[in-house]
Amino acid sequence: MEAVTPATEQPKQPEPATSAGAEPMPVAPTVPRLIATDLDGTLLRDDKTVSERTVAALAAAEAAGIDVFFVTGRPARWMNVVRDHLHGHGLAICANGAAVVDLHQGIRFVLVRPLRAEDALAVVRALRAAAPGTTFAVERTGGIHHEPAYPPLSFDPSTSIGPVDKLLSEDADQAELPVLKLLAHHPDLAPDDFLALARASAGQHATFTRSSPSALLEISALGVSKASTLEQCCAERGITRDQVMAFGDMPNDVEMLNWAGMSYAMANAHPEVLAATSRHAPGNNEDGVARVIESVLGR
């Protein structure tokens, strides 16, 4: 385990974890060795900021010898939102487990679990048949590539645009770089319905999940998830699942919450996530992750 940097500022005394009249928040049975937290809707507030209270809580955890892993569906290039708040080893699991990156070294890829082009193309064929109107994007370690009708993000310009068959071909732009995720968007289907349909029609080719409020699916290689990559990282450090505390809010967090011994669904979480664990933290806008950490360290 790498050395941790002591916190430069001690956190404030823990505040009550629940508001007046609310159910008491379940406290972890023991102090964890590792905290694994999702970002959007979990650690980050809705405005995509990290509160001072959360920064202090994470620093206090690492000063106490607890590893902190950011575990997110975000690509590595979107991790600047937390790079200013690193204290210990600075490792993050990105793209729903498809990559582990070192944020201390200019976002250096430590581990990649790629999606094979032939599996991605099998998914494309199956979803085109099951859900006409689906459009696709290909997330590589070097950037995103998408079809003309796929809804782009203004803050994340594409590296190339073209038919997905071309984007996955051997002569595609950045074809030498591994594919982390295939993204599939449908303009009309309900998000959970689209996920269920995709798993039923193409689940033998890849792993499907979602974290967006829209009908946007995130597709990784079979067996790749936040949970499986976190398990691998923990095994390398001699950390067992019962020593892991995890936080999440969307379907792409469910496997991780089921795996970790001390799991918390955020109060603002998707119903499937709330059902995955009996421990529920206050919402992301109420610094729920920080409040649980304070409660654990304060006792």
pLDDT at 245: 98
Average pLDDT for 93-103:
96
How large a percentage of the chain has pLDDT more than 90?
80
pLDDT at 1: 34
Domain CATH number, residue 135:
3.30.1240.10
Q: Say what the alpha-carbon torsion angle 128, 133, 139, 144 is, to the nearest 10 degrees.
A: 140
Look at residue 208 and tell me if it is in a domain.
yes
**Phi, psi (degrees; rounded to nearest 5) at 218:** -115, 125
Same domain, 106 and 244: yes
pLDDT at 232: 97
Model confidence band, residue 86 (pLDDT cutoffs 50, 70, 90): low
Same domain, 213 and 122: yes
Look at residue 79 and tell me if it is in a domain.
yes
Look at residue 7 and tell me if it is in a domain.
no
Tell me: pLDDT of 14 over 70. no
Model confidence band, residue 15 (pLDDT cutoffs 50, 70, 90): very low
User: What pTM does this model have?
Assistant: 0.88
How large a percentage of the chain has pLDDT more than 70?
88
Check if the beta carbon of residue 37 is closer than 8 Å to that of residue 265. no
pLDDT at 26: 67
pLDDT at 12: 36
Look at residue 156 and tell me if it is in a domain.
yes
Average pLDDT for 277-293:
97
Tell me: pLDDT of 82 over 70. yes
Check if the beta carbon of residue 151 is closer than 8 Å to that of residue 231. no
Same domain, 121 and 107: no
pLDDT digits (tens, 9 = 90+) for 119-129: 999 999 999 99
Check if the beta carbon of residue 279 is closer than 8 Å to that of residue 262. yes
Total Cβ atoms within 10 A of residue 217: 29
Rounded CA separation 80/146 (Å): 23
Same domain, 82 and 144: no
Look at residue 14 and tell me if it is in a domain.
no
Tell me: pLDDT of 3 over 60. no
pLDDT digits (tens, 9 = 90+) for 130-152: 999 999 999 999 999 999 999 98
Average pLDDT for 216-239:
97
User: Which domain covers residue 209, as residue numbers?
Assistant: 117-220
pLDDT digits (tens, 9 = 90+) for 149-159: 999 888 888 89
Last residue of a domain, one of 192, 220, 248: 220
Tell me: pLDDT of 22 over 50. no
Instruction: Indicate the helix (H) or strand (E) that contains 263.
Output: strand 262-266
Same domain, 105 and 121: no
pLDDT at 187: 97
Tell me: pLDDT of 97 over 60. yes
Average pLDDT for 9-19:
38
Model confidence band, residue 106 (pLDDT cutoffs 50, 70, 90): confident
Model confidence band, residue 8 (pLDDT cutoffs 50, 70, 90): very low
Tell me: pLDDT of 18 over 70. no
Look at residue 252 and tell me if it is in a domain.
yes
DSSP 185: E
Q: By mean pLDDT, which of 77-91, 184-198, 243-257 is the weakest? A: 77-91
Q: By mean pLDDT, which of 20-24, 92-96, 131-135 is the weakest? A: 20-24
